[in-house]
Structure 1
């Protein structure tokens, strides 16, 4: 049963299985190949794929997060349908804004877990710099990209460093906090910025389709 019409749809094993079977489709295959290249060259077999229900290489908006969540490791992909609170919040923000998932794609500033076998630790600048070439490669796969939304300090740092590269594409971007539910009570102003970023993304993609 496909549960992508509500949050946490990747709890359903058949939904995940069906998605993984689509990783070779033309819109997502170049990203799948990049993930497999990173897995091989960086020795990161756990690195998640990207949900094929996103727009893949046709995406106009990139949501850049800090690192993959545990739920991404469970489902095997970066997805707004994953079984965690952050993904569920992203799902709700997307629905409220009217943002079509096929116009978007997700990636992470550091695309692997930062633990080196010693348990989780804080991501530091050298981690971001080591992953920066992969971010550049990922952005190169998105010829229709119109906006990047960074969600988190690490994602913001990664995009800032990317834009300092001589080969960088100068893309409009917005920086917001990660959509962690705790933020709603601890920093409501930061929390309120998040749906505003989704609204901007929705407007940009609607303009590209000629609806506004």
Structure 2
């Protein structure tokens, strides 16, 4: 793998081709084969693979957002979920993860609704996302932290715990909830509230890093 995290590296052909070549590398093969099976399921459409830049089944952190953005699309973007995608949300994640001492290989990115819709998912769609998330967690036995970014991510997690409590089993998972890393999360008039939300995101990422380093501080 390439070694340094630099925002928006999917713009670089060499980096993007490296991700293409590693699409079915051992650490991401189970997840991306699951994605293959879920694509077009029940007519839901396409979903991106997880970039091998990330930890895949070896990851200690599962990061959940709302839905795949345009820059995850094949042709338009990279075809992958990746913090190195060419968009502001991915860029912010890459920079804050790096600042918190969280390596790309520590994390597997996912979405509350993993199929591409580029809008807020409806309740029935979130329930479909629960089933996909349940399958994903079964493939990730080393997960220690679940980072829920935004309302939809927190909603799908509550739904999962209600309908599939056995997926947690004997695991001790630390759940960290914060605001979505997209710009819309800061679309509030009060500048103090904007600053508070931005700081909450920073603190939450730092808490995830603390868990990985063993101190386990919650925001």
Q: TM-score range by the shorter chain?
A: 0.7 to 0.9
Displacement of 1:87 in angstroms is 0.4
Instruction: Check conservation: 2:112, 2:130, Cα contact below 8 A.
Output: yes
Displacement of 1:51 in angstroms is 1.1
- Aligned-partner Cα distance in 2 for 1:71–1:13: 15
Aligned in 2, Cα 1:182/1:155: closer, same or farther, shift over 3 Å? closer
1:153 aligns with 2:156: no
Aligned in 2, Cα 1:3/1:9: closer, same or farther, shift over 3 Å? farther
Q: Which of 66, 79, 103 matches 2:106?
A: 103
SS in 1 for 2:97: helix
Instruction: Check conservation: 1:89, 1:181, Cα contact below 8 A.
Output: no
1:207 aligns with 2:210: no
Partner residue, 1:188: 195
Aligned in 2, Cα 1:102/1:155: closer, same or farther, shift over 3 Å? same
Partner residue, 1:81: 84
Partner residue, 1:63: 63
When normalised by structure 2's length, the TM-score is: 0.85
Partner residue, 2:52: 52
SS in 2 for 1:105: strand
Instruction: Check conservation: 1:3, 1:15, Cα contact below 8 A.
Output: no
Instruction: Check conservation: 1:4, 1:81, Cα contact below 8 A.
Output: no
- Aligned-partner Cα distance in 1 for 2:174–2:5: 30
Unaligned segments of structure 2, at least 5 residues: 189-193
SS in 1 for 2:167: coil
Instruction: Check conservation: 2:78, 2:85, Cα contact below 8 A.
Output: yes
Partner residue, 1:31: 31
- Aligned-partner Cα distance in 2 for 1:136–1:183: 27
* Per-residue Cα deviation, 1:41-60 (whole angstroms, up to 9, x for no partner): 34456310001011110111
- Aligned-partner Cα distance in 2 for 1:94–1:6: 11
Partner residue, 2:20: 20
Unaligned segments of structure 1, at least 5 residues: 115-119
Cα RMSD over matched residues? 2.1
Displacement of 1:185 in angstroms is 7.0
Instruction: Check conservation: 2:40, 2:46, Cα contact below 8 A.
Output: no
- Aligned-partner Cα distance in 2 for 1:98–1:28: 22
SS in 2 for 1:75: coil
Aligned in 2, Cα 1:153/1:184: closer, same or farther, shift over 3 Å? closer
Instruction: Check conservation: 2:7, 2:94, Cα contact below 8 A.
Output: yes
The number of residues matched between the two structures is 202
SS in 1 for 2:110: strand
